[in-house]
Amino acid sequence: MLWLKLLNIDTRYIHEEFNKYYQKSLIELPKSVEDTIEVDVNRSFNNLKKIQPKNLNNILKTYAIVNHHLDYCQGMNFIAGFLYLIFEDEALAFGVMREVISRYKMAHLFNVDLPMLKLNFY
């Protein structure tokens, strides 16, 4: 709950927003993005019963619709997965993921060329 307070996430609002964008992702998400998400989700958290591929798919596809400039990049599946394990709620995991990526300018880590990731590893 501390994360939600620090990030100013209203739990009532985030569920409505998540559902709205999730429904939009079912119609508008490009097939290439959907396929990339599916491939990465199938390679992550396979041995945990608390998280199912459907949970990760829902979070990541919804995020890809909300941040259409970034869509999805490899590695986001682990962030979404760990957040889902903490909150056990797709909408809350989505909300925290979106806020953390935005607030801490992590979009520079997650894009096609991964420039900030390479710089940080250097």
| Predicted pLDDT of residue 78 | 92
Region of 45 (left: φ > 0; alpha: ψ -120 to 50; beta: rest) is left
Cα 74 from Cα 121, distance rounded (Å): 16
CB 33 within 8 A of CB 67: no
| Predicted pLDDT of residue 121 | 72
| Predicted pLDDT of residue 1 | 84
Q: Where are the alpha helices (DSSP H) in 7-89?
A: 11-28, 31-41, 53-66, 76-87
pLDDT in tens, the chain (122 residues): 888 888 899 988 999 999 999 999 999 999 999 999 999 999 999 889 999 999 999 999 999 999 988 888 888 999 999 999 999 999 999 999 999 988 887 777 776 666 666 777 77
**Residue 61, SS3?**
helix
Cα 94 from Cα 73, distance rounded (Å): 15
Domains of the chain: 2-121 (1.10.8.270)
CB 70 within 8 A of CB 33: no
| Predicted pLDDT of residue 32 | 93
Q: What is the pTM of this model?
A: 0.88
| Predicted pLDDT of residue 112 | 64
**Residue 106, SS3?**
helix
